[in-house]
Amino acid sequence: MEEEGMEEEGGSGGCEAMMDDQNHNNWGAGDYGRHLLGPAAAPLGDRLLHGPAAGPTAGTELPAVPEANGVLRGCEPGKGGAGAIAAAININASTSKFLMNVITIEDYKSTYWPKLDSAIDQLLTQSPGDYIPISYEQIYSCVYKCVCQQHSEQMYSDLIKKITNHLERVSKELQASPPDLYIERFNVALGQYMGALQSIVPLFIYMNKFYIETKLNRDLKDDLIKLFTEHVAEKHIYNLMPLLLEAQSTPFQITPSTMANIVKGLYTLRPEWVQMAPALFSKFIPNILPPAVESELQEYAAQDRKLQRELMQNGFDR
């Protein structure tokens, strides 16, 4: 597969038509050819080629163009008219174009997936604000062509395996983190991954639409969030939560934004984790705790006074 085939626009024709016949062997024959070369086709072709004065008079019916072994006959000058010639050329040109651009599984593995693999690597490891030197248009077109050539299942499998391997490395790095850096590094890993999904999911939108949603009855973003939950968050939640509670009891041990990002992120990954620390989650997620009752007003007031004392001890005026 030549590289120039990668750069062609993938939008003409639509996925549905291409997926019906991946090799397009019958585009120049059969009912499709007869439809284009029916009675109305030749007069229209003559008018396009030679102007209004050319072609048969109104009401003249042309004979159907016979076929033999997939080749349209009667296309010589004087036998089928200029319209038949033009239509046959267009059909055969389309057939040749698509036959030349068939993407085999070997093409996919050697040419298309390596481009996707490299782009995913960069998106998964970028820092906020980094410039990523990849062509989003080229990657989007690459995904589109692979979907149209019916490589969606292989591409989905490769994507899941790629991201799973990345997340397993992230988890091992977190396990090696000292306690004083653990919370910050978890926050960076979570933010970096969620940021990467904002680019990865749109790039694979055609695979999501024509394979994941249609055949698997799932959604790509949900699948990728689940991967982080299973390979990172679940493995670290029981180490992370005590550190978060300790940081909560020691004001400004970590920044409020870091605490908010992690708590909201954990709630997004698995809402039932609220039960591990309801008071902590309630500070950042609305309506977590049951409504206040009058009998507990004194307790709420005591908690408020304690918070004010802690703020004053850390240099904040009332």
The residues spanned by each domain of the chain are 105-311
> Cα–Cα distance between 171 and 189 in angstroms, integer?
9
- The reported pLDDT for the residue numbered 91 is 46
- Whether residue 175 is predicted with pLDDT greater than 90 in this model: the reply is yes
Superfamily of domain 105-311: Cullin Repeats (1.20.1310.10)
> Cα–Cα distance between 35 and 197 in angstroms, integer?
45
Percent of the chain topping pLDDT 70: 60
pLDDT in tens, 279-307: 889 889 987 776 655 666 677 677 667 76
- The reported pLDDT for the residue numbered 60 is 39
Q: State mean pLDDT over 99-113.
A: 87
Residue 71 pairs in a beta bridge with 68
What does DSSP assign to residue 227? Answer: H
- The reported pLDDT for the residue numbered 24 is 38
- Collapsing DSSP states into helix, strand and coil, what is residue 72? strand
Confidence category of residue 9, pLDDT binned at 50, 70, 90: very low
More confident site: 102 or 252 = 102
Least confident residue range of 72-86, 90-104, 209-223, 303-317: 72-86
Nearest C-alpha neighbor of 207 from the set 1, 19, 25: 19
List of residues 6+ apart from 100 with CB closer than 8 A: 5
> Cα–Cα distance between 82 and 42 in angstroms, integer?
7
